């Protein structure tokens, strides 16, 4: 049962996914750092400017896009972290069966690193999403009170 060709093909295909998963996680980590900077800038000056502008429609569009980006980071990064955890464990466990502990050690290191990075980026996305929802609600409420 475990020696079919389809399992072998699947194993090779999954093995090719590790490198893109790692690069995607690093890209998401960079995006989360940029997003922190954007959130700080909007909190300390940008939101006041939007509030004074009275452009409710444009602000709602911007708010939707930024919340969507935060939600995307919060959901996708942990999934990629899990993929980065599981992909190297197969070869790592096979290496353990063959007595090759150095391969297992490398696989475990990659597994833990991708898990931590995925969760860290997910936390950043979650926190930014929650903060932005609150900030944007406050701005929209004050814009509606001032202009409506």
CB 119 within 8 A of CB 81: yes
Q: Looking at the predicted structure, is the pLDDT value of residue 104 above 90?
A: no
Average pLDDT over the chain reads 91
Q: Looking at the predicted structure, is the pLDDT value of residue 66 above 60?
A: yes
Q: Cα 19 vs. chain centroid, distance in angstroms?
A: 16
For 73-101, what is each residue's pLDDT tens digit? 999 999 999 999 999 988 888 888 888 88
**What is the band of 147 on the pLDDT scale with cuts at 50, 70, 90?**
confident
Q: Looking at the predicted structure, is the pLDDT value of residue 1 above 80?
A: no
CA–CA gap between residue 73 and residue 33 (Å, rounded) = 11
Q: Which residues 6+ apart lie within 8 Å of 14 measured at CB? A: 87, 90
**What is the band of 68 on the pLDDT scale with cuts at 50, 70, 90?**
very high
Tokens of 46: 């940008």
> For residue 43, what is the DSSP state?
I
pLDDT at 80: 96
For 9-45, what is each residue's pLDDT tens digit? 887 888 899 999 999 999 999 999 999 999 999 999 9
């Amino acid at each position: 049962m475990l020696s079919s060709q389809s399992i072998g093909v699947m194993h090779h295909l999954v093995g090719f996914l590790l490198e893109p998963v790692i690069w995607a996680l690093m890209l998401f980590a960079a995006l989360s750092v940029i997003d922190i900077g954007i959130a700080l800038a909007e909190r300390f000056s940008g939101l006041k400017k939007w509030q004074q502008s009275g452009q409710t429609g444009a602000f709602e569009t911007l708010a939707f896009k930024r919340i969507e980006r935060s939600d995307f980071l919060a959901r996708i990064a942990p999934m990629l972290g899990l993929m980065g955890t599981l992909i190297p464990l197969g070869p790592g466990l096979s290496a353990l069966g063959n007595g090759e502990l150095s391969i297992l050690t490398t696989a475990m290191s990659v597994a833990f690193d991708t898990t931590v990075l995925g969760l860290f980026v997910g936390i950043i996305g979650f926190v930014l999403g929650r903060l932005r929802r609150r900030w944007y609600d406050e701005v929209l409420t004050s814009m509606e009170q001032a202009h409506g």
